Structure 1
Amino acid sequence: MIKMKKKETDSLTLTSPSHRIIAAMFDLAIIILFSLVFLIPSIAVYVNALLEPNAWTLTATYIVAVLSGGVIALLILLYEVVLPLYWKGQTLGMRFFKMKYVREEGGELSIAPLLISSVTALSLALLTFGLYFLVELFAIAGSDHHRSFADTVSRVYVVDTLD
């Protein structure tokens, strides 16, 4: 049980690491499915560059790869920021497994902590070529508060919900 700083009477139950990890995997599967839609043109351009190698197809491959990567990064940010804003701190995985983000100070969740958390996680994942997620897995499972680095930086907790 954690106690919020401003509302000492409200006590919330932290989500178990296993539920949190499963919900994150559920969210990752959804993001991958949506990302495939944007990767299909990239794959087609890449295959064309392999079949007809020249300067134009090589340039097109780089341009489409950068654009696809940018669109997918934007999709991830929208999924992890906008969706929880409208669903009271929940992504699809969190809603399915009955958990949500709450602010450390209590009160309504705003865009700032969600954006900080998402940008932190995405940046560290890109810089470490995905190893960040493995480290976070151990951080969530091993820490007393079951928080990731991004949660700590953005000052949020993931707690169980009844609805």
Structure 2
Amino acid sequence: MLNPVGFWARLGAGLLDGIIIGIPLSIICNIILGESSNSWLTTITDSIYSLVVPLLWTGYTVGKRIVGIRIVKIDGSNVNFWTMFKREIIGWILYSLTFGIGVIVSAFMVGLREDKRAIHDFIAGTYVTSDPPEY
């Protein structure tokens, strides 16, 4: 694993994704459904974004691209659908089942571990790196 990325860069990328993608998505879903921004449509659409965009953009989301970090498999290769499914969907289920405690544990793992991997990274066999993709 080369150049693993720690807590602050990952947090920054997540905040940028929330501002650039999440807020407009919530507004659009609110207009479509006339419900609060915590609607089922917002959750599903955000999950699809987190699952599909890294597949199409060599591990980047919009926030990660701005920060200069991306998701890769443990061997450094690009992520595939099954990898992202495990990372995003199964990871989200685990974090939900632990009532958010898993998120807190993951934050400490990214901040304190040498390899900077969170629980969802272990589930999927991924890590976040600052290395650009090899084309």
The normalised TM-score by structure 1 is 0.69
SS of 1:144's partner is coil
State which of 1, 21, 28 in structure 1 corresponds to 2:18: 28
Distance 1:87 1:73, change over 3 A: same
Q: Is the 8 A contact 1:21 1:137 kept in 2?
A: no
Matched residue, 1:42: 35
Matched residue, 2:92: 122
- The answer as to 2:73 corresponding to 1:83 is no
- The answer as to 2:116 corresponding to 1:146 is yes
Q: CA deviation at 1:80?
A: 0.9
Q: CA deviation at 1:81?
A: 1.2
Q: CA deviation at 1:125?
A: 3.5
In structure 1, the gaps of 5 or more residues are: 3-11, 44-64
* Equivalenced residues, count: 129
Q: CA deviation at 1:131?
A: 4.1
Distance 2:27 2:102 in 1: 22
The normalised TM-score by structure 2 is 0.81
Distance 1:72 1:155, change over 3 A: same
State which of 37, 43, 51 in structure 2 corresponds to 1:73: 43
Distance 1:14 1:155, change over 3 A: same
Distance 1:31 1:123, change over 3 A: farther
Distance 2:57 2:80 in 1: 12
- Superimposed CA distance per residue, residues 69-96 of structure 1 (whole angstroms, 9 cap, x where no aligned partner): 1x22221221111101111110111100
Larger radius of gyration, structure 1 or 2? 1
Distance 1:36 1:136, change over 3 A: farther
In structure 2, the gaps of 5 or more residues are: none
Q: CA deviation at 1:31?
A: 4.5
Alignment RMSD: 2.2
